[in-house]
Chains A and B, each alone.
Chain A
Amino acid sequence: MLSEQLLTALIFGGLAAGMPLVLAGLGELVSQRAGVLNIGVEGMMIMGAYGGFVATLATGSAGMGFLAGGLMGAAVSLIMVVLCVRMGLDQIVVGIAITLGAEGLTSLLHAVQFSDTYPRIGRTIVLSIPWLSDLPVVGRALFGHHPIVYLTLLAAIFGTWALQRTRTGLAIRAVGERPEAVDAAGVSVVSTRTLAAMTAGVGGGLGGAFLAIVNAGNFIPFMTGGRGFIAIVLAMLARGRPLWVVVGAFLYGLSVSLATALQLVGVPIRTEVVFSIPFALVLIMLVLFGRNAYLPSALALPYHRGER
């Protein structure tokens, strides 16, 4: 049953379906390490999806789409920065408001702009890495994606290094555990957290843009379908290590891809069951690894100098 072609499709689809989660999860991880729990990542994703879709449709360039998506996410995360990092409001309340607001806003904009039509954008370019993409099965599956996929994987590796080995990475790790220590050491808590919260915005925005531009090829209101929340969970389960976000996201992607493959092959299982596989997988992951989740001590706690 598992022909070579199917296997290729499975892996290719898994990578593609996992990408929005990799992007959003990496940003969320940086934010969480700095003590900013970004519940609004779902909202940042949908805004990124809308911005990325509209920009791609207008310019015909997926690159412009990703740029717009990232900027859109960053813009939304500015709300988080001003209200939570600077003014010290509750991160969970603001995060939920961002998600609900963004979902409503994008639906409205979509309805105004396209009424009930769902225009599609053309196929995006893919990078065909010579030699490697000619390998059997894995060749096309691993080396025939949009360039942003490889850039993101490089970013995950760079992020791992930067968190450990740079001044900024050290400050991010410390500010999520004990902000007063960072303050006393003369590093700005607000700047560090601002940077981290913006990273989450850019990650969420890019993730949403990938979903609209590459995965779907169009924009549908509410198309993120809870992926932002899965990204939050992935970041928590990754215990602060970026590469685990990548692993978790691709596991999720594979299960989505498997569901699609089972459909195509015509396995006699009801579609509803098939499409619930990814969510069942997330549940199983939570049950198995939930107790391993590590949350920084100062997560979601606003910092005010001089308070104990």
Chain B
Amino acid sequence: MTYQNPAQTGTEGQFEPSERTPVVELQGITKRFPGVLANDDIHLAVEPGEVLCLLGENGAGKSTLMSILSGMQSPDEGAIYVNGEQTVIADPRQALDLGIGMVYQHSTLVPTLSVIENLMLGASEKLILDASEARERLEQLAGMLGAEVDPHARAGDLALGQQQVVEIIKALWKGTTVLILDEPTSMLTPRGIDELAKMIDSLKEHGLAVIFITHKLHEALRMGDGVCVLRQGRVAGRLSADDLRSLDNDQLQERIVSLMFGDESGELAGVAELSAEVRHESGHDPSAAGSGRRQHAETATALRIRGVSLAPVASSHGLHDIDLELYQGEILGVAGVDGNGQRELAEVIAGQRDADTGAIVLHDGATEREVTGLGISSRQRLGLRYLTDERHGEGTVRTMPIGLNLLLKRIGQEPFWKRGAVQNAAIRSYTESVIEAFDVRAPGPDTPIGKLSGGNMQKVLLARELAFEPRVVVYNKPTYGLDVRTTQAVRLRIREQAERGVAALVMSTSLDELLEISDRIAVMSRGRVVGVVENGPGAEERIGEYMVGEVAA
């Protein structure tokens, strides 16, 4: 099926007369789920050569709206116009035929297939696959994006940035006129984000319309020609290209924050994700961040890691001679691109993995306790805790209630078990107190944890690791994938614990986060700690230099 380039049709849209017909227009889209109004009377339009940013918190209805546009779900009310004609999009195939290409938040590549096979999937008109024809198309689209892709690489072996290039090429395959990108930056490095921005620019030049979904304000301002803010399923407000040009950054930020969060925006001022924009655009010194820093010189050591190594394997760089010292009440950040040994280090400290060499020593005042040979639960009892980055994987048992997940690491221990018998009343009252104290939004203590949102699940995990006298806590990507509000709550907890003397090792791929909360920041690269930087003026630049390897370790 071929479609006219909407830029050439010249006919005016029936409903909103403008110079050009919008490629896609949504009129009064409403979608209800049991108990939730996911989309409420949404109006949107995007024109060729325009990047529309859809901005909103998690749960604001962005993804539902886009799954309606891509045919995965159908709206309860409202109409969709493609190139000025009303259409019903019944399934993904039809969306593709209409020229709507979608890059989902979660990868839709089949990891065991090669790049070219992934691209041919669903695209081949003929029964017998024609790989050479597909390669030509791949080269053409890669050229248009200014990217290079090996057609025979296994998709699962590609770096995340490369996978995303393949996803975009796949979405463009059938002559797409609107490209929807759902939170495309969530798995990218800062450099990857720059490259993505360049690709979006070149798509714009080729006359494509792009809908860019994000919950990060600075990305919306950077990528978008227009910004549409969603809150609780409604369009809370819009900023046109003129607004973006005429207002300065502070004004824009203030305006968008108030649209995104309504009345609550006041209490969220100063959150790194929001303030990052100001620094990014105006080159402010990062010393504004990290206001909670303390001097650790006088305080005592809490944890010492000496010469810890782990042999590299195919899927991991391993660890190489890691030496780190962590002081009581200190927050030590660990920066680095994901997959450079952060998880391995965290698991070695927690006891989930044995190091090949080296020692881990827990200090308590004058006493030292080597924990290298101890198991997970002994370390747990000594106050050494690990907040995993796998909320859904090793973190929780989805089908079990919140209470049991809270006590997953203390099964059989008093007072929740007595002589092997579970004490339901004790568990229930404990769970209720945690739900209250950690502000977990849940129907009740018996709700299976899998039914909670990511943010609430993370609060439960945090409560689990911070209960019963923690002394050293390893936080692995503690705010990954959370909305701004929960992110802030989690950071407050980490700070609060540090003020009580609990030492924290915070691994994060967000440098903004580390600059905001850490006292010192260690940089990891290829399984090594390549440098440790005091947080303060100039820290960001020095960390950047360590990350790209300009400074000798």
Contacts and interface: CB of A to CB of B under 8 A. Distances in A.
Interface of A: 165-168, 170-171, 173-174, 177-178, 180-187, 296-297, 305-306, 308
B112 A187 contact: no
Contacts of A306: 67, 72-73
B128 A166 contact: yes
Nearest to A171: B121
Contact of B108 (A166, A168, A173, A178): A178
A167 B104 contact: no
A182 B128 contact: no
Interface string B84-108: 0000000111101100001010101
B172 to A, nearest CB: 13
Interface of A is mostly: helix
Contacts of B102: 184
Nearest to A294: B112
A188 to B, nearest CB: 8
Interface of B: 67, 70, 72-73, 91-94, 96-97, 102, 104, 106, 108-113, 117-118, 120-124, 126-129, 170
Contacts of B170: 185
A166 B127 contact: yes
Interface pairs A-B: 7 shortest CB-CB: A185-B122, A186-B93, A181-B108, A187-B122, A174-B110, A167-B124, A186-B122
Interface of B is mostly: loop
A177 to B, nearest CB: 5
A186 B128 contact: no
A187 B128 contact: no
A186 B129 contact: no
Given A185-B121, A305-B72, A167 B129 contact: yes
B62 to A, nearest CB: 15
A185 B117 CA distance: 12
A296 B113 CA distance: 12
A167 B122 CA distance: 8
Nearest to B392: A308
Given A178-B110, A180-B108, A185 B129 contact: no
B106 A167 contact: no
B112 A170 contact: no
A174 B122 CA distance: 10
Contact of A177 (B67, B111, B128): B111
Contacts of B120: 167, 170
Contacts of B117: 170, 173-174
Given A185-B92, A186-B93, A308 B106 contact: yes
26 contacts: A165-B129, A166-B127, A167-B120, A167-B124, A167-B128, A170-B113, A170-B124, A174-B113, A177-B113, A178-B111, A180-B106, A181-B110, A181-B118, A183-B92, A184-B72, A184-B108, A185-B96, A185-B121, A185-B122, A185-B123, A186-B91, A186-B92, A186-B97, A187-B93, A187-B121, A308-B106
B110 A168 contact: no
Given A186-B96, A187-B93, 4 more contacts: A167-B124, A167-B128, A182-B110, A297-B111
A178 B121 CA distance: 12
Contacts of A167: 120, 124, 126-129
Nearest to B106: A308
Contacts of B94: 186
B122 A171 contact: yes
A187 B92 CA distance: 9
Contacts of A183: 72, 92
A126 B109 CA distance: 48
